[in-house]
Structure formats: structure tokens, C-alpha cells
């Protein structure tokens, strides 16, 4: 697998996910409660920095571009496949969430607690998919910057998950408590 094919496949995968997110914005409900602007900006900055470290060419002339392991076709194919699988899982979760989705921690008008589809496997399947996709990208790219990007993404998602958990517990006290007992946060049956 050529270097350029690997990066094109990964770029198109993330762009397709971004397109689904962009189109989905038109079909979301109005937010009635949301996180503070400061919390939103911190999460956004952390996520953007994480994805920039994973996917941009800005860092190619620094120590961040140091290779973690040899560049092999097998590792690149595996990375591309994991990226695609993670993004497909995140898109499935985004579609299942429907008009309840928000880019920020929020409760929507007539909010529903979604527990089917990928939400029957994990409480935060969008984050599961995005982290899985990031791990795939890191495998394919194989540079130090990717590890830092993943760390930043996990940090941002953990903070955001904590805020979402609190908001869902307040909004659906009994149902969310039962859901939390039944379904793990990120990794089915584990975490």
C-alpha cells in the first residue's frame, strides 16, 4: 500500500464522517440546557488540537514526526481498516442519536434517552468510534504526534463524558441509573 493511498483513504474516511456531522446539524432539536461556554471552548480546543496532531502535516519537520515503528504495508492496511471501522461505528451512533445529538453537552427539547443500536453496546459510542478511528490513524501514520493526539482526544472525551453523564442522570434519574448499570461507558463489557 502506498503512502499516498494510505493518507488519502484515511483523509476521505474522516471527511465522510465530518460530512455526516455537518448534514446532521440541520436535523437537531433546540437545546434547552447546555454546558458553559468555557467548558465548550476547552473541549473544542482540545479535540481540534488532538485531531490536528493526528492528521495534519504541520508537524512533519519536528520531533513529533519521529516514527514509532517501521512503515509497513500490513500496518498501514490495518490502520486504514481500523480507522474506517471506528468512523462507521461513530456514524452509526450519530444516526441512532438522531435529533438528540449535539456537538456540546446539552439537553434538547423533548430529549429522549437513546439506548438502542450502538447505545445498547456502550453509553458513548460516538467517542468509542472516534477513539477507535484515531487509533487506526495512529497505526497507519506511525508517528509520535499521533500518540499525543490520541491522549488529547481521550482527555477531552473523558471530561465531556463526565459532564454528559451528570446531565443525563439529572434529566432521566431512574432510567439513566438503570442504563449505567447495564451498559459500559466506552468499551462493551469492560469500561
For residue 54, give the nearest of 125, 122, 132, 127 by alpha carbon.
132
Range 42-78 burial, b when 16+ CB lie within 10 A, else e: ebeebbeebbebbbeeebeeeebbeeeeeeeeebbbe
Q: What is the mean pLDDT of residues 99-106?
A: 90
What are the structural domains, with CATH classification, of the chain?
3-100+112-182 (1.20.120.1630)
Q: What is the pLDDT of residue 135?
A: 97
Give the pLDDT band (50/70/90) at residue 2: low
CA gap 3, 70 in Å, rounded? 13
Q: What is the mean pLDDT of residues 114-139?
A: 97
What's phi and psi for 109, nearest 5 deg? Answer: -60, 135
Report whether pLDDT(169) > 90.
Answer: yes
Report whether pLDDT(134) > 60.
Answer: yes
What confidence tens digit (pLDDT) does each residue in 27-50 have? 898 889 888 888 899 999 999 999
For residue 114, give the nearest of 53, 61, 37, 179 by alpha carbon.
179
Q: What is the pLDDT of residue 46?
A: 96
Q: What is the pLDDT of residue 98?
A: 92
Q: How far is CA 44 from CA 6, 10, 74, 78, 117, in A?
A: 27, 22, 33, 29, 27
Say what percent of the chain tops pLDDT 90.
Answer: 69
**Mean pLDDT score of the chain:** 91
Q: What is the pLDDT of residue 1?
A: 53
What is the pTM (predicted TM-score) of this model?
0.92
Least confident of 14-18, 27-31, 165-169: 27-31
CA gap 88, 110 in Å, rounded? 27
What confidence tens digit (pLDDT) does each residue in 60-80 have? 777 777 888 788 889 999 999
CA gap 121, 182 in Å, rounded? 9
Amino acid at each position: 500500500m502506498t503512502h499516498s493511498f494510505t493518507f488519502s483513504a484515511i483523509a476521505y474516511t474522516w471527511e465522510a464522517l465530518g460530512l455526516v456531522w455537518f448534514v446532521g446539524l440541520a436535523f437537531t432539536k433546540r437545546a434547552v440546557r447546555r454546558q458553559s461556554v468555557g467548558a465548550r471552548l476547552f473541549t473544542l480546543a482540545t479535540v481540534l488540537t488532538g485531531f490536528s496532531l493526528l492528521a495534519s502535516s504541520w508537524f512533519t519537520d519536528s520531533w513529533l514526526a519521529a516514527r514509532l515503528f517501521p512503515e509497513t504495508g500490513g500496518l498501514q492496511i490495518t490502520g486504514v481498516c481500523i480507522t474506517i471501522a471506528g468512523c462507521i461505528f461513530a456514524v452509526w451512533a450519530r444516526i441512532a442519536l438522531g435529533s438528540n445529538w449535539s456537538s456540546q453537552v446539552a439537553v434538547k427539547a423533548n430529549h429522549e434517552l437513546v439506548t438502542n443500536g450502538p447505545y445498547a453496546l456502550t453509553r458513548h459510542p460516538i467517542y468509542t468510534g472516534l477513539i477507535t478511528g484515531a487509533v487506526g490513524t495512529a497505526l497507519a501514520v506511525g508517528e509520535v504526534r499521533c500518540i499525543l493526539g490520541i491522549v488529547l482526544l481521550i482527555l477531552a472525551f473523558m471530561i465531556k463524558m463526565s459532564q454528559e453523564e451528570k446531565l443525563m442522570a439529572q434529566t432521566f434519574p431512574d432510567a439513566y441509573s438503570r442504563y449505567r448499570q447495564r451498559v459500559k461507558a466506552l468499551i462493551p463489557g469492560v469500561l
